[in-house]
Homo-oligomer: A and B are copies of this chain.
């Protein structure tokens, strides 16, 4: 009697077929079989060691074995677990899209609406095809890569922690970073280590001594949250080579990659021709020849957070591990949303996406400049900042902070009626001391920025040493 589950082949248990349609599923099964051979031969053994104990414990998805039986139209299929098709509530849908020439209606017909009501593996075909082509042409990944849908980047980060990290492991991250990722890492029992940065991103000289013993570098290279910086092109290869030398996986959370508005040059044109559109430049997957990078893209900052969708890109064994985790948790996102996003992107085509990105980037550029002007008018003597080149955040560092408590700061914000993000929320090191920094976002209408900066001036003044004391110090 043979072994029922391949419990002794832990390195192969990360395989799961993308099932967006029958032909792709069959092809994926063949690819999987090939990959399993490779793994069985030990070629990828070092790569599977990058995965967590959780991934190594997870069984292969048993449905994989039934897939050939389920997808043969001649077979009697008695293993489905969905309500009968004739009871599904929706017949069809339509989306009214805000196009430059006015609102256009995109119909979602009966067949697509049926897919929107089934499990995600049946709904994701169109959107994955579009995102795969986009990834190939815009991100240009190196190596033997693949993509998978995610239920948004926060879900994908949760899975990334599950894929790569065990409690007690060390994760490196920019010295201030995405606050929910800090919370997620703390919940996972990780050792969070901040890496010093400048306006060009992570400092390689500061990164190097922190790498021995670390498992993952988490980075937001473009339009950094909260620092507003963009990694300089030459830094990518330096950071990559350092991580590769120490076998450290890079989790590239590029949520703001599509928001490269380049406000750095005040004299640049205020029209759409001057922004990046789809010409977005460097990223880590494009130089990942050793299979170390797990990249997250999100629809939340590209289009809208309401879709709760994103996609991940990386070497195929990472993507298979990701899909295995999705199978027992997020199911890789919402079918309704996948169908709507697929139809929207198919309606736009590349030209429409390009036009959307130019609108988005120009809108952020103009807002960013407005906020910078308001800060220049009211905060010059109280704070430092750098001009953001991408993303939606401006990072204020107080020039002469006095000793103050978190409660004092919150009270001052409340009394002065202004709500920036307190910098301490973004710190991976929660010492109990407030951080004399604030994250400002420039996504609300810019006519409120001058008043906001005046209010913020009062807060900063209350929390600062007198200017002569600063000079004396």
Contacts and interface: CB of A to CB of B under 8 A. Distances in A.
A143 to B, nearest CB: 27
A96 B97 CA distance: 17
B4 A432 contact: yes
Contact of A98 (B78, B91, B393, B406): B91
B116 A360 contact: no
Interface string A153-165: 0110110000000
Interface residues of A, number: 136
A208 interface: no
Interface in A300-343: 300-309, 325, 327-331, 333-337, 339-340
A134 interface: no
A interface majority secondary structure: mixed
B452 A76 contact: yes
B433 A76 contact: no
Nearest to A52: B187
B98 A419 contact: no
B308 A74 contact: no
A137 interface: no
Contact of A430 (B7, B118, B158, B431): B7
Nearest to A453: B76
Q: Chain copies in the assembly?
A: 2
A179 interface: yes
Contacts of A66: 419, 421
A469 interface: no
A227 to B, nearest CB: 14
Contact of A152 (B97, B331, B392, B432): B331
A228 to B, nearest CB: 12
Which one of A72, A97, A158 has the greatest number of beta carbons of chain B within 10 Å?
A158
Contacts of A78: 418-421, 440-442, 444, 452, 456
B331 A154 contact: yes
B87 A363 contact: yes
A360 B74 CA distance: 27
A135 to B, nearest CB: 20
Given A59-B430, A84-B363, A98-B91, A76 B328 contact: no
A331 B308 contact: yes
Contact of A359 (B79, B87, B97): B87
A89 B304 contact: yes
B7 A77 contact: no
Contacts of A61: 183
A419 B304 contact: no
A420 to B, nearest CB: 5
Contact of A308 (B83, B103, B334): B334
Contacts of A97: 89-91
A55 to B, nearest CB: 7
A93 interface: yes
Contacts of A75: 417-419
A53 B117 contact: no
Nearest to A427: B4
15 contacts: A69-B419, A76-B419, A76-B456, A78-B419, A79-B420, A81-B392, A81-B393, A89-B304, A90-B304, A92-B103, A119-B306, A120-B306, A154-B329, A184-B328, A336-B340
